[in-house]
Structure 1
Amino acid sequence: MTATGLARALRSGETSVTEVVDAALRRTHELNPTLNAFTLIDDEGARAAAREADELFAAGVDLGPLHGIPVAVKDLIDIAGLPTSCGSATSFGATATEDAEVVRRLRAAGAVIIGKTTLHEFAYGATGDRSAHGASRNPSDPRRMSGGSSGGSAVAVAAGMVSLALGTDTAGSVRVPAALCGVVGLKPAYDAIPSAGVYSLAPTLDHVGLFAATTEDALAGYQALADRSVEPVSVDGLTVGWIPPESIAVTDPRVVGLTRQLVLRAGFGVDVIDGFPKWERNESLFEIFSTLQGREAFRVHEDHLETDAGLIDPEVLARLRTGREITDRDYASADAARHEFQVVVDELLSAYDVLALPAVPIVAPLVGERSVRVDGADLEVRAALLSLTSPWNLTGSPALSVPAGRLGGLPVGVQLVTAPGQEGLLFAAARQLETS
């Protein structure tokens, strides 16, 4: 079900879009009762789009690498004629009258939308198990979390239901489930993919991203959706700065070992960076991030707290209410810290082409689990899941999670980060890791 593999089969005449989409729908209906990846499966719409894609091919019209490829869309992104639930039982999100810009671009590229995927309510959670539609579940072990908030999209790709899926990433909501489910997850640079028609959580931190089985597929999806192109680059002489994750948050030593070995095996020039040089604030990066996100999420959902509180999941509701206590002064201080951190990261990315570290410091916890013990420490699950991804939402840097192997049968991801405009380096480094 890789997009590039299907594209070759379609162009060789080995199969048709209708056959590909029928297979995707069959697999989705078979697996969704167990994995809960989808909130809505649009059989009729998908089959109609498949017929149209086949007719275009027959007429000699080729719309590009995504022509005829089955995709899924996170259920906070508008698709005309379908409801947008945002994972919530509240009145938030009615039937959409227009496609979001990213959906319009998918259609223009010839992609076939299979349906809408499960998310943590309002996209406000990293675990993927608080939704009006229930928990999305990890294909490697359905007892375990998919991660969130874009968990359903990660599951749909990992389980082979679709080849590509859209998600959003405010703190790690693409990279976390990508790492836990064993697929590629891309958070582009801030605003690289348009967000019109995508319901917001924290506007200065939100990114529209995507999931794919391979880096090549992710690049094809990015090229179709982004406002900037990626030029191919060589990895010869590429320099990597390895950030020991322990300098940011407690990390399972097995995760550190597995991800670092992969980076070293790829043949890059690798230097170990001592945390974030010149970063001297006492607050942790996660505290700064949480202040910004908490205040912005409260502002976005303030009306729902007044009218729909009884319909919101208690855990999500408590987090939204916490944002009420964040003052203008608190927010301004966190915003100043964000800009200071941006300077630190800019300096690092002027010295190294790519930064590398694990995407997530732990393997997938059990659904509903809220505390895990790692290396002698008891960790709050949400904070642990987001600890290594959220810094790059502060800076808006392009970041990508690539599968790095498995521990006890559960996937682990390595995260690559580069500067905006250097996406070619990001994809080139990721491809090198995939073949190492």
Structure 2
Amino acid sequence: MTSSTRPASLDAAALTAGFADGSLTPSEVAEDVIARVEAREPELNALYLFDAAQVRADATASTERWRVGAQLSAFDGVPTTVKENIARAGQPKPAGTAIPNPPIAPRNAPTTERLLEAGAVIVGSTTMPDWGMLSSGVSSLHGITRGALNPAHTSGGSSAGAGTAAAAGYGPFHIGTDIGGSIRLPGSWQGLTALKPSEGLIPLDVPYTGRAAGPLTRTTADAIRLMSIVAQPDPRDYLTRSYRPMEWSTDPLAPAGMRVALQLEAGSGLAVEPETLAIVERAAALFAEAGAEIVPLDPFIPAAVLEGLVNFWRSRSFADFEALTPAEQALVLPFIAEWCGAGADFSAAQTVRNRNMSDEMARLTRAATEPFDLVLSPVTPVAAFAAEDPMPITDPLATMGHISFTVPYNMSGQPAVSIGAGVQADGRTVGLQIASRIGTDDRLLRVAHWFEQARGSEAEVDWSRVA
């Protein structure tokens, strides 16, 4: 049995087809996932909570449901992970920090409830860096989460463990969260499909401006399948809105006749690396060949807007940091302590002005992208960096110049997906970001699915080579 034909590596459609015809059971799949976790976790460090006995028990229950024809959904028994800040009833939520006595979730988050209602087998909770404010897997609690394609490289973050679990093949379904790129960055740096959906489409029990939950998967079809489970309304998300019914079809949608913007400069942050630029331009050429009208899009977010937003995040995290005892403060990752410490120096008036940059970013993003069906860009200007580094920019007082393409869509509420577009000469993956109008997530993923088929084998990760 090769790596790509092991049950743990099969997509959700292949798994459930096997469950339906009796050639495979959820228990057999769970055993293979457990074996893969036990083989790779000592190095990768993607899971915070992992209870093999509970995974086996849940898979056994699913196996019995399939046996008697009482499965809870088409995806009953499919292995899944959720990020550690997505509540699981009775489980701790330390948010990546080593601060003792983390809060215990009194009930499941909406995402967890939808997965359990569908019969998914939750393999575990995945790691994140301190307070989710790093683009890596460096954590005062967990240590270092590494990329599954090359453990010397970052997992990306803050959905660090989610990205690594997806790339390592801990089953097909993985859910992360994203406030500035935290789903799409691991997606780009580990060759995944990673969607930051429309605001509130996947409801949150702790919503706030820019925050979203979304899928990280090896294939676009599995992202679509996962969205069909978790993109359900829940009254706890007071920032959500009524969306038209989504059609979670896995039929590819070619961009013929679409007006597609191509943004190669963000106007703030880091310059795009030459290999990344070439890969994104090659991807845009495929859209043009398919009949899309490609229109260059100038930068639309000034550096001062990005800097103001990041400075507001500093103040918000400093409010949490300041409330800790000195002993607890000493346990926070030093990079984060210094990063948020800068937020202590802003006046109340400046903090309000910084907070207003999220609204300004939303306004500018909607205005710039409204004329287009899609917007193509790099996910991030840089390829994966060393796993030990907290950020691609290692100065905690510098602005987060690597999120300049991703964060605008958090603030505007628009969906944006990262999909693998190429592999650099040194083996590092590069994601293409495709964004669209709010509430068009189903069409966006169908276009991403088309691109996945059009991009060519040289742009793909060979998952059979991932141990």
Q: CA deviation at 1:371?
A: 8.0
**Paired position in structure 2 for 1:222:** 227
**Paired position in structure 1 for 2:448:** 430
CA contact (8 A) 2:134 2:391 kept: no
Cα distance change, pair 18–98 in 1 and its aligned pair in 2 (3 A): same
Q: CA deviation at 1:184?
A: 1.0
CA contact (8 A) 1:170 1:205 kept: yes
CA contact (8 A) 2:266 2:404 kept: no
Aligned with residue 205 of structure 1, among 207, 210, 224: 210
**Paired position in structure 2 for 1:132:** 141
Is 1:396 the equivalent of 2:413?
yes
Cα distance change, pair 180–61 in 1 and its aligned pair in 2 (3 A): same
Q: Which moved more, 1:246-255 or 1:333-342?
A: 333-342
**Residue by residue, what CA displacement relative to the aligned partner does 1:355-384 show, whole Å, maximum 9, x if unpaired?**
1101121111112347869xxxx9999824
Q: Tell me the distance in 1 between the aligned counterparts of 2:95 and 2:392.
A: 28
Cα distance change, pair 100–321 in 1 and its aligned pair in 2 (3 A): same
**Paired position in structure 2 for 1:269:** 292
**Residue by residue, what CA displacement relative to the aligned partner does 1:204-242 show, whole Å, maximum 9, x if unpaired?**
222122211111111111121123542258444222111
The one-letter code matched in structure 1 to 2:64 is E
CA contact (8 A) 1:128 1:135 kept: yes
CA contact (8 A) 2:362 2:409 kept: no
Q: Tell me the distance in 1 between the aligned counterparts of 2:299 and 2:94.
A: 39
CA contact (8 A) 1:166 1:209 kept: yes
Cα distance change, pair 66–25 in 1 and its aligned pair in 2 (3 A): same
Q: Tell me the distance in 1 between the aligned counterparts of 2:141 and 2:297.
A: 43
The within-5 A match list for 1:341-420 is 341-369=361-389, 383-407=400-424, 408-420=426-438
Cα distance change, pair 36–382 in 1 and its aligned pair in 2 (3 A): farther
**Paired position in structure 2 for 1:186:** 195
CA contact (8 A) 2:147 2:190 kept: yes
Cα distance change, pair 93–215 in 1 and its aligned pair in 2 (3 A): same
**Paired position in structure 2 for 1:16:** 25
The one-letter code matched in structure 2 to 1:319 is W
The one-letter code matched in structure 2 to 1:338 is S
The one-letter code matched in structure 2 to 1:222 is M
Q: Tell me the distance in 2 between the aligned counterparts of 1:36 and 1:125.
A: 16
**Paired position in structure 1 for 2:238:** none
CA contact (8 A) 1:182 1:411 kept: yes
Q: Tell me the distance in 2 between the aligned counterparts of 1:379 and 1:130.
A: 15
Cα distance change, pair 336–134 in 1 and its aligned pair in 2 (3 A): closer
Unmatched runs of 5 consecutive residues or more in structure 1: none
**Residue by residue, what CA displacement relative to the aligned partner does 1:2-53 show, whole Å, maximum 9, x if unpaired?**
2222222222222001111111111011111111111221212211111121
SS at 2:421 equivalent: strand
**Paired position in structure 2 for 1:260:** 281
Q: Tell me the distance in 1 between the aligned counterparts of 2:217 and 2:36.
A: 17
Q: CA deviation at 1:62?
A: 3.4
Q: CA deviation at 1:420?
A: 1.4
The within-5 A match list for 1:86-105 is 86-91=95-100, 93-105=102-114
**Paired position in structure 2 for 1:304:** 324
Q: CA deviation at 1:140?
A: 1.8
Cα distance change, pair 256–16 in 1 and its aligned pair in 2 (3 A): same
**Residue by residue, what CA displacement relative to the aligned partner does 1:332-375 show, whole Å, maximum 9, x if unpaired?**
323444334333332343311111101121111112347869xx
Instruction: Quote the sequence identity (%).
Output: 26
Q: CA deviation at 1:102?
A: 1.2
Q: CA deviation at 1:106?
A: 0.7
**Paired position in structure 2 for 1:54:** 63
Q: Which moved more, 1:385-394 or 1:25-34?
A: 385-394
Residue correspondences, number = 425
**Residue by residue, what CA displacement relative to the aligned partner does 1:131-181 show, whole Å, maximum 9, x if unpaired?**
311111112211111111111110001011121111111111111011101
Q: Tell me the distance in 1 between the aligned counterparts of 2:322 and 2:179.
A: 18
Q: Tell me the distance in 2 between the aligned counterparts of 1:72 and 1:157.
A: 9
Q: CA deviation at 1:306?
A: 6.0
Q: CA deviation at 1:94?
A: 3.4
The within-5 A match list for 1:277-292 is 283-292=303-312
CA contact (8 A) 1:353 1:425 kept: no
CA contact (8 A) 1:65 1:220 kept: no
Pairwise CA RMSD: 2.5
SS at 1:186 equivalent: strand
* TM-score, length basis structure 2: 0.84
Q: Which moved more, 1:32-41 or 1:72-81?
A: 72-81
**Residue by residue, what CA displacement relative to the aligned partner does 1:36-79 show, whole Å, maximum 9, x if unpaired?**
11122121221111112122222222333431110111112221
